[in-house]
Amino acid sequence: MTRILVLNPNSTSDVTASMDAALDIVRRQDGVDIVCETLAEGPPGIETQEHVESVVLPVVRYFEARPADAYVIGCFSDPGLALARENLRKPVFGIAESAFHMAAGLGARFGIVAIKRGSIPRHMRNIRGLGLIDKLAGDRPLEIGVTEMGDAERVVGRIVEVGRELRDVDGAEVLILGCASMGGYRREIEDRLGLPVVDPTQAAVMRAIGHLTLGYGKAA
């Protein structure tokens, strides 16, 4: 059976559980074994560059020790993506890069709901680096910490506020939830704003299934 290993590089198991729940929709359609695991040694939330760098080697070592047909790095800063692709013989996907590609195919331009202001420059470098800058309508922050993302009412309210600006001021036709922990709110945001919303974890796993199905090897 095809096995896809999704690793949450932060140590908050609630976030892993949320990602795992969001992937049920993929499991229903496909007979693929999708496993979500937590990097115990990771920080509770990945918000600073220190956090990002601290998990790069642990993420890659984690993957190297566990066979799978494809790997997904479950953090919007895509930590360790380049190294994992160099070292592993199987395809590797970052959830941010995958979200950008999925959103590009869902509308003319997309908007990002960033978790904090400080992550916006990282998004910009990633999107420019991918040659997709023409598809970006806007990027605005929630200003809520990763470990507080369980407070549904507050979080949804803020995402809707930010999403409205991305849609009405910046002209976004698609929204990207800019953190693995936001995925559980996708449906509600779609209903409230009337736009397709990309959950990066879903985007990455679906992209992995696509590449595996069509027989694309490690190059991704």
The residues that touch its own copies, with contacts defined as CB under 8 A, are 2, 25-26, 28-32, 48-50, 52-54, 56-57, 60, 80, 82-83, 85-87, 97-98, 101-102, 104-109, 121-122, 124-126, 128-135, 173, 196, 199, 202-203, 206-207, 209-217, 219-220
| 3-class DSSP assignment, residue 196 | coil
- The sheet carrying 136-141 orders its strands as 136-141, 110-114, 174-178, 197-198
Half-sphere exposure of 53 (CA within 13 A, CB side): 3
Shortest distance (Å) from residue 151 CB to its own copies: 25
Query: Which of 58/158 has CB closer to its own copies?
Result: 58
Q: Smaller CB distance to its own copies: residue 81 or 159?
A: 81
Non-local (6+) Cβ contacts of 53 within 8 A are 79
Helix (H, G, I), strand (E, B) or coil at 188: helix
Distance CA 61, CA 58 (A): 5
Q: Supply the minimum distance, in Å, between the C-beta of residue 155 and its own copies.
A: 21
Give the nearer residue to its own copies in terms of CB position, either 136 or 144.
136
Closer CB to its own copies, 60 or 142, in the complex: 60
